[in-house]
Structure 1
Amino acid sequence: MIRILVFALFVLALAAGFAWLADRPGELSIIWQGQRADMSLMVAATLVVSLIAAVMFCWWLVRVVWTSPHSIQRYFRARKRDRGYQALSTGLIAAGAGDAAGARKMLSRTRGLLSADQEPLIHLLEAQAAMIEGRYDDARKKFELMADDPETRELGLRGLYLEARRLGANEAARQYAERAAEKAPQLPWATEAALEYRSEAGDWDEALKLLGDGRSGSPEDKKTFARRKAVLLTARAADKLDADPKGAREDAHQALKLDETFVPAGLIEAKAYLREDNLRKAAGILEKLWKATAHADVAKLYVRARSGDSATDRLKRAEKLEALRPNNAEALYVVAEAALETRNFPLARAKAEASARLSPRESVFLLLADIEDAETGDQGRIRHWMNQALKAPRDPAWTADGITSPEWRAVSPVTGRLDAFEWKTPVSELQAPVEDGAANSVEEAIRTLPPLAIETKPVAVVENVVTVAKAEPEKPVVVAETAVEPVTVKSTRTETAPEKAKPAPVEQDERPFYGLPDDPGVKEGPLKRDGTSGFRLF
């Protein structure tokens, strides 16, 4: 396009020049070897232009004749090279498709048309064909030759790395990845592999050095870089926590700057402050993290921040967490657990049942069983809650590659993958069906529960459920077991024994039971006056 434009401009300039000469006529006389030639200025200009054109044509003709052998040779060489590249392309496609015979055939044709020194991809085709045919030693030799060539170094190192991984030679694979990352840090596979190996070895300083500064790249790459750096800083802080709390705190703080919702970094920074007896800053970090994530580990550390606190103090801290996240199942569970420690059974039961409505899971039903055991000792109810716990979804935990860990780790112990652990329900996620009228908030959950028939005054605890016969002056009181619906017992005083409190007749319990217990007990016959049962076994 540019050439056409230049040619048009040249023609226009030439025409303008001739037009200018035509408007200004004149005579031109030339005397050469005694001969005089007279002509007009227009004729002279035409002769000069024609002479220049003839010279240019003659030069082109001579140049074509002189370079014709080389041009012919170059034509045939280019044609041969094109055929060779076509064969190489077809061979690589055949190798990728697993066609060993086709790849070997195209390799032979490529060798006849191209030189391996001119085209290094011939080594790749030969290595791929050898791998398809099962000749791994030959393929490895070809990859080694490619690794020694600066032009194909990265390709050869990747082939060697994959071959070492296939054979399970982790140390060799690590060396190939380190070499590739050193020579070409822009290769994602080399950087990731080297990071995983250094992280698996616990060499966090070298891993951070290999990660670089992350200034270049797309926004997605920068986000990935920030996440990896936060993970590596947190892992290094975890190693420093026992020996150097201050250094661990600084690393964890930098990790939180990169990711404000990264729970492991916040926990480590809070633990470091607690080891320095700085409860105020530790609580501030945990409260901020709790507002963002409502994580169970955050609540556990916040409630038990000081080892010398009483159960009442822990309950107050748990209620503060609930005030920060009032409609959260985890907050309700923490309050219920702390209330159980203070023996405040009505509060513990109410919060635990509300948490179970919002998020049914194993730990909530186990807590309800503990509350039932501590308050009434009703074995039927306890077994019921234990049965519900068996059928409920498991609690979230740090999970990676099918295994769980009690605490966060930077590297998966199964695959060595960096940042593999996630806070989620492990393995099988058996989600309980949600009814149409399920509670969406704490108030709604509590409103849908029946009223609790629990006295706040001290009660007389009776094993199982009993009925009490009135005592006669000359006969002892006879107590027998019966099998009725689960009840609650209120304490009262009898007229016959003013010095000692005796249990009064029981009332029907109105607390929610979520179904009948799995072991209601054995029904007995009516009592006779002599205290024996009327039920006959045989």
Structure 2
Amino acid sequence: MLWSLIKILIFVALVVGLTFGAGYLMDTGGGLRVALADWEFNLGPLQAVIAALLLIAAVWLFIKIVGFIVAVLRFLNGDETAVSRYFDRSREQKGLRALSEGMMALAAGEPRVAMSRAARARKYLGQNAMTTLLNAQAAQQAGDSRRAAESYKLLLQDEQTKFVGVRGLLKQKLEENDTNTALALAQKAFEINPKHSETQDILLRLQAERHDWTGARNTLNAKMKSGALPKAVYKRRDAVLALQTAKDVFDESSTIEAREAAILANKKSPDLIPAAAMAARSYLSQGNKKYAVRVLKKAWEAQPHPDLAAAFAEIEPDETPVERLKRFRTLTAIRPDDDETRMLLAELSLAAEDFPAARRALGDLVTRHPTQRALTIMAAVERGEGSDEALVRGWLARALSAPRGPQWCCDNCQTVHSSWGPICDNCGGFDTLSWREPSQKSEPTGTGTELLPLIVGGPAASRPVEDEGEVIDEKAVERTEK
């Protein structure tokens, strides 16, 4: 600090001296006379300028000599690197300047320039973390994956930069779609820094893609403990993972574990439709119909859905259509004005051959919200009441061009999915599917549709109808009548 102050004072004094000398020369208009003891010097204007330049050089040399003397004194005082630091200071300044220029070039999108500056910085500063990282990122931006990987591997040798190296290699493997290596790197990065939010998200996605639901739940728990995830969101997503665990256990025919996992998923998130349906079936396999009804009613209150109605139908699989219509009143009374409730009542009335009741249940749905399902139900009502065949065909023709109604849609990319899943196959979003009307851009095209899911003897049955000009498939009409 003191030495810096001295250099500043010397520089200011030099500027003042030069200014005073220039002013004196202008006033005299001639040469410069310098008298020192018994010596006298008469300098012309050019000679005065040369003398001033020599004075500047002498001052610069004096500063360097003084700096060297100070370094020697520090060395004698016990600082073993003082002299070497004095000689390396110039190289360090050049290296830092090259490093700064390389970072600027990288930010400006000039990776080749950044790599050349990184090489220059490495020449003056040696192989250190900053020059290696700059070279790695510049090579990655330039598309030179081999050089980038070599630089990231150099960062693995130091514990302080190990996480940065693993993270860089992880991003490379993700870009190359090498998910196996990426998963191993993500696990290693998570071990080094378990609180890093981006690493948590990547690891969670990779584990979910590999159906490692236990590992995904551990990652999710760590994300919640680090404060990166609200508790309510954690409970919902943990329920999703528990549900997937239950599905895998069901596939392996291990019913006891499946029951526990499905019931746990429903308890964590009662409004999760697939979890509610699976939990109800788990209770049914235990012979506990009361709990199954309770689970489905609570889920129906949150969001009416055909899967819930199908699970509710399985509680009493051998009942008659009239008995089923009566029993379903406990479910449909919860949200009577919901469109799903109206269509469910209409379908149940059709199964019981009570066509006027089916028409009343639909109400103004075919004009207010004409979906394929609602219009097909209306066609079945007209056919059941003995209406003209042309009228029935008209309803079916309208159904072919009508929107499908609520579906599983991704809230991120708006992709429509045929069934619920924890991950969107299009954008990779986790727990982004919701049961709603698709946006206009994501409305699926084609004439094949799912029509009239009648709750008669179990799960809903899909009945496709194909449009061939003006001809309507007679078999589809016959199935609708049934």
Q: Same fold (TM over 0.5)?
A: yes
Alignment partner of 1:422: what SS?
strand
**Structure 1 residues 340-392: Cα deviation after superposition (integer angstroms, max 9, x where no partner):** 00110101012123333453321101111122222215222122212322332
2:238 counterpart of 1:229: yes
Alignment partner of 1:116: what SS?
coil
What corresponds to 1:335 in structure 2? 345
What corresponds to 1:314 in structure 2? 324
Q: Return the alpha-carbon distance in structure 2 between the equivalents of residues 339 and 246 of structure 1.
A: 37
Q: Return the alpha-carbon distance in structure 2 between the equivalents of residues 257 and 93 of structure 1.
A: 53
Q: Shift in Å at residue 286 of structure 1? A: 0.7
1:514-525 counterparts in 2 under 5 A? none
2:219 counterpart of 1:210: yes
Among 239, 264, 268, the alignment partner of 1:258 is 268
Q: Return the alpha-carbon distance in structure 2 between the equivalents of residues 222 and 121 of structure 1.
A: 38
What corresponds to 1:91 in structure 2? 102
**Structure 1 residues 196-241: Cα deviation after superposition (integer angstroms, max 9, x where no partner):** 2322222222322333355534474434433321111111112224
Distance 1:140 1:65, change over 3 A: closer
2:434 counterpart of 1:422: yes
1:388-537 counterparts in 2 under 5 A? 388-400=398-410, 404-414=416-426, 417-426=429-438, 428=440
Q: Which amino acid is the alignment partner of residue 106 of structure 1? A: R
What corresponds to 1:104 in structure 2? 115
Q: Return the alpha-carbon distance in structure 1 between the equivalents of residues 89 and 216 of structure 2.
A: 49
What corresponds to 2:291 in structure 1? 281
Alignment partner of 2:161: what SS?
helix
Distance 1:355 1:250, change over 3 A: farther
- Whichever of the two has the greater Rg, that structure is 1
Q: Return the alpha-carbon distance in structure 2 between the equivalents of residues 129 and 219 of structure 1.
A: 31
**Structure 1 residues 151-176: Cα deviation after superposition (integer angstroms, max 9, x where no partner):** 22222222212222222322222222
**Structure 1 residues 310-359: Cα deviation after superposition (integer angstroms, max 9, x where no partner):** 10122123333232112211111110000000110101012123333453
In the alignment of these two chains, the number of paired residues is 370
Q: Shift in Å at residue 272 of structure 1? A: 0.5
What corresponds to 2:179 in structure 1? 170
1:18-417 counterparts in 2 under 5 A? 66-67=73-74, 81=92, 84-117=95-128, 120-212=129-221, 216-218=225-227, 220-241=229-250, 243-400=253-410, 404-414=416-426, 417=429
Q: Is the 8 A contact 1:248 1:269 kept in 2?
A: no
Q: Shift in Å at residue 116 of structure 1? A: 2.2
Q: Return the alpha-carbon distance in structure 2 between the equivalents of residues 76 and 200 of structure 1.
A: 56
Distance 1:96 1:227, change over 3 A: farther
**Structure 1 residues 421-444: Cα deviation after superposition (integer angstroms, max 9, x where no partner):** 33233464699xxxxxxxxxxxxx
Distance 1:258 1:169, change over 3 A: same
Q: Is the 8 A contact 2:270 2:298 kept in 1?
A: no
Alignment partner of 1:395: what SS?
coil
Alignment partner of 1:398: what SS?
strand
Distance 1:172 1:96, change over 3 A: farther
Distance 1:64 1:205, change over 3 A: closer
What TM-score do the two structures reach when normalised by structure 1?
0.61
Q: Which amino acid is the alignment partner of residue 360 of structure 1? A: P
What corresponds to 1:456 in structure 2? none
**Structure 1 residues 81-102: Cα deviation after superposition (integer angstroms, max 9, x where no partner):** 5664454244223223321343
What corresponds to 1:525 in structure 2? none
> For the aligned residues, what is the CA RMSD?
3.3
Q: Shift in Å at residue 283 of structure 1? A: 0.4
Q: Which moved more, 1:399-408 or 1:243-252?
A: 399-408
Q: Which amino acid is the alignment partner of residue 291 of structure 1? A: E
Distance 1:148 1:362, change over 3 A: farther
Q: Shift in Å at residue 78 of structure 1? A: 6.7
Q: Return the alpha-carbon distance in structure 2 between the equivalents of residues 414 and 355 of structure 1.
A: 33
Q: Is the 8 A contact 1:322 1:328 kept in 2?
A: no
Tell me, which stretches of 5 or more residues in structure 1 are unaligned?
A: 1-62, 432-517, 520-538
What corresponds to 1:28 in structure 2? none
Distance 1:140 1:187, change over 3 A: same
Q: Return the alpha-carbon distance in structure 2 between the equivalents of residues 147 and 200 of structure 1.
A: 27
Distance 1:200 1:220, change over 3 A: closer
Q: Which amino acid is the alignment partner of residue 275 of structure 2? A: A
Distance 1:73 1:144, change over 3 A: closer
Q: Which amino acid is the alignment partner of residue 423 of structure 1? A: W
Distance 1:396 1:289, change over 3 A: same
Q: Which amino acid is the alignment partner of residue 204 of structure 1? A: W
Q: Return the alpha-carbon distance in structure 2 between the equivalents of residues 286 and 225 of structure 1.
A: 23
What TM-score do the two structures reach when normalised by structure 2?
0.68
Q: Return the alpha-carbon distance in structure 2 between the equivalents of residues 412 and 430 of structure 1.
A: 14
Q: Return the alpha-carbon distance in structure 1 between the equivalents of residues 250 and 166 of structure 2.
A: 38
Alignment partner of 2:435: what SS?
strand
Q: Which amino acid is the alignment partner of residue 115 of structure 1? A: G
Q: Return the alpha-carbon distance in structure 1 between the equivalents of residues 378 and 207 of structure 2.
A: 46
Q: Is the 8 A contact 2:262 2:282 kept in 1?
A: no
Q: Return the alpha-carbon distance in structure 2 between the equivalents of residues 102 and 429 of structure 1.
A: 43
Distance 1:223 1:150, change over 3 A: farther
Q: Return the alpha-carbon distance in structure 2 between the equivalents of residues 353 and 391 of structure 1.
A: 21
Alignment partner of 1:419: what SS?
coil
Q: Which amino acid is the alignment partner of residue 285 of structure 1? A: V
